[in-house]
Structure 1
Amino acid sequence: SFMEEVDKPIITTLHTILQDPPLDAKRVMDEVLRLSDMVIVLARVGAQILEEVYDTLPFKVRYIPHGCPNVPFVKSSTAKKGLDLEDRYVLSTFGLISRGKGIEYAIRSLPEVVDVRPDVLYLVIGETHPEVRKHEGESYRQSLLDLVSDLGIGDNVRFVNRFLSKRDLIRFLQATDTYILPYPNRDQISSGTMLYALCTGKAIVTTPFLHAQEIIDEGAAVGCEFRDPVSISKRVKRFIELEEIKEQYEQQAYEYTRDKIWPNVAMRYINEFYKTLGL
């Protein structure tokens, strides 16, 4: 294999680690772990899974968080002015759209939210994942549009169906009042979208997938149940009704990421590279 031919120290970063892998996947992962001099995980729970499921020795594993940009903390009311959103309470979710994102559960939560805040606007930001589009076209997005129509909330949902530059994405996030991560898959151990929402100081409602649970435990986000629109709506309404609580979570989210900005993460990688090389 390629890794066996490499005559240099190998450092492997694992973005995804399966807790219950198929036999072939486990065989491949076992070989990757055996041939790696060091393995980097993006969430602390990843180290635990490697030890318990793959019998990886702890000294071989390092935790380096998923990085994020360093942006100023800006109130949503300020950021909305440039996006013509001043008169809306903005919810958002962003990322490449696919069935594994659980956006339908967030949409189903909206009628109860609209009852208490008729000016709410849920932004679904991002284009369909290229691999999804290749195999099923825009059928998932169309199912979401149909759901919005069936629920009669066309004025409360907007699809931003394009890839945004980092600058434009951050502007939308800064204009967001509450960010929703409705992922239905508990096993996800890394979420770049979560880090972006945190670093812009958002009040976050998220399902407790593995990476999110760490963040919930540190008080930087609020958890909701998997595949449960009622649970989502309850958490969102709490932020709407209790502005002081919302502001506390915004501050906690922003503070949580201060050591995770890209220059700090890059330096941690550099230090591990030097250690591996014995320098």
Structure 2
Amino acid sequence: MATDRPSRIAFVSTYLPRHCGIATFTHDLRTAMDQAAPDMRTLICAIDNEGLDYDGQADFVIGQHTMADYPAVAESIAHAGVDAVVIEHEYGIFGGPDGDWINLFAQRLSELGVPYLVTLHTVLSHPSPGQASALGRLCRGADAIAVFTPAARAMITSTGMATADRIFIVPHGAPTALREDWDREHVPGPRRGTSVAGEVRPEVAELLDQSGQSRIVSTFGLISPGKGLEVAIEAVADLAEEHPDLVYVIAGATHPEVAKQHGEDYRDRLTGLVADLGVQDRVRFLDFFLTDDEIAALLAATEVFLTPYHSTEQISSGALTFAVAAGCPVVSTSYRYAQDLLRTGAGNIVEPGDSAAFAEGLRGLLADPERLHAAQAAAHSVGATLGWPSVARQFAGVVRDMTAERARRRGLGGLGSTARPARLGRHADAVFT
């Protein structure tokens, strides 16, 4: 690794303006690392499926469904003097069966002597044979693997895809704007009357203004059937009489891939359900992709955040991370990431698909100020560790150690897996204890 210039670190991921959780994650991490790690220069290799204009933000582009791009761009990255590559992994963002073409890219990097790290955004307890094969190959060739939670690390080691000494826990980050103007001593409830830096669109400002004295619960993120929003809508309807000031805000555009295949069918079903239940005045939609400032404004007004997701397998959630970082108590279905992030008492966890149980979980917070305050305090405590500057410093440390270990082994005349620095693992684990 060169010492007379900043090391060059390339992120391989979807990237803005593509509307995708991983694209937002990579943009935020890259931005934070540019501030937190001046010894590194970050580059972007965008996985593109729409012919997007990246406005100079992407240094390399791989056509998601163009097989030849994967090894060819790996060669371009190596020839550009990149010292290490970070692959943001999710099965659906890469081409080939189960996203297997990313292995063509990774194999060519390895042949050219460029180490790579894999960040796992999905870890399945029972992957299909194709999924296990594709991810197993990618992990076996990686110098290091980053996961968000202890549960994800345990799952990866149990499958034999990687040994624990190569797996690092670095939490999912959140914008610092979510915690601005936070008063540690404030009473239970949303941070009404606080200012949020930045601008919000009139639709957001108007909705929050109209809901001024209401008790707002909310969900934000890309809309898809897996989000289980019908469960939360039914729960809000169940609570309508006992909490006449309750308003549920659902914010976010339909997921682009869902829109391509099914249009707005799911959103139409949700609005139909709202009408059938007679809660049009209780459920409000913001039908677009929110900016960080708009998310901050929404969460500042939110009393309880809801994630009624159907899948129990989900191992990360940017939306849940943002809500906890903002100090919001949560009612969530029992998926893996929620179990880890909420284990210190930041909310109530219920089984998926059960609107009555979800309503009871929400009732338990809304009807008990002391319990609500305790959940809010727990969320605030966990959220204090999740700001992007802190996460970026941890992640930069993993990359530095990975590349230093690769250089050390090369100096000894051999290549091998990097050793896991225990100090980073202990620091990250503290988020979940």
Q: TM-score range by the shorter chain?
A: over 0.9
CA contact (8 A) 2:123 2:315 kept: yes
User: What is the SS of the residue equivalent to 1:77?
Assistant: coil
Q: Which residue of 2 aligns with 1:206?
A: 332
Q: Which residue of 1 aligns with 2:371?
A: 245
Letter in 2 for 1:272: V
Q: Which residue of 2 aligns with 1:231?
A: 357
Larger Rg: 2
| Partners of 2:233 and 2:194 in 1: CA distance | 24
Pair 1:35 & 2:179 matched:
no
Give TM-score scaled by structure 2 length. Answer: 0.62
Alpha-carbon offset, residue 55 of structure 1: 4.1
Match of 1:276 among 394, 402, 409: 402
Q: Which residue of 2 aligns with 1:131?
A: 257
Pair 1:16 & 2:122 matched:
yes
| Partners of 1:264 and 1:188 in 2: CA distance | 24
> Is the helix fraction higher in 1 or 2?
1
Letter in 1 for 2:231: Y
Pair 1:67 & 2:173 matched:
yes
Q: Greater shift after overlay, 169-178 or 243-252?
A: 243-252
Percent of paired sites with the same residue: 29
Q: Which residue of 1 aligns with 2:192?
A: 77
Alpha-carbon offset, residue 229 of structure 1: 0.7
Match of 1:93 among 219, 230, 246: 219
Residues 160, 80 of structure 1: CA spacing in aligned structure 2 closer, same or farther, 3 A cutoff?
A: farther
Runs (5+) with no aligned partner, structure 1 = none
For the aligned residues, what is the CA RMSD? 1.6
How many aligned positions are there? 279
| Partners of 1:5 and 1:112 in 2: CA distance | 56
Runs (5+) with no aligned partner, structure 2 = 1-103, 184-189, 197-204, 406-433
| Partners of 1:129 and 1:143 in 2: CA distance | 15
Alpha-carbon offset, residue 37 of structure 1: 0.5
| Partners of 1:49 and 1:153 in 2: CA distance | 41
| Partners of 1:176 and 1:80 in 2: CA distance | 14
| Partners of 1:54 and 1:104 in 2: CA distance | 38
Q: Which residue of 1 aligns with 2:342?
A: 216
Q: Which residue of 1 aligns with 2:267?
A: 141
Task: Report which structure shows greater RCO (CA 8 Å, sep ≥6).
Answer: 1
Q: Which residue of 2 aligns with 1:47?
A: 153
List, as ranges, runs of 4+ consecutive aligned residues in structure 1 with deviation greater than 2 Å. Answer: 72-83
| Partners of 2:194 and 2:131 in 1: CA distance | 45
Q: Which residue of 2 aligns with 1:3?
A: 106
Alpha-carbon offset, residue 117 of structure 1: 0.8
Give TM-score scaled by structure 1 length. Answer: 0.96
| Partners of 2:388 and 2:142 in 1: CA distance | 24
CA contact (8 A) 2:175 2:387 kept: yes
Q: Which residue of 2 aligns with 1:111?
A: 237
CA contact (8 A) 1:148 1:157 kept: yes
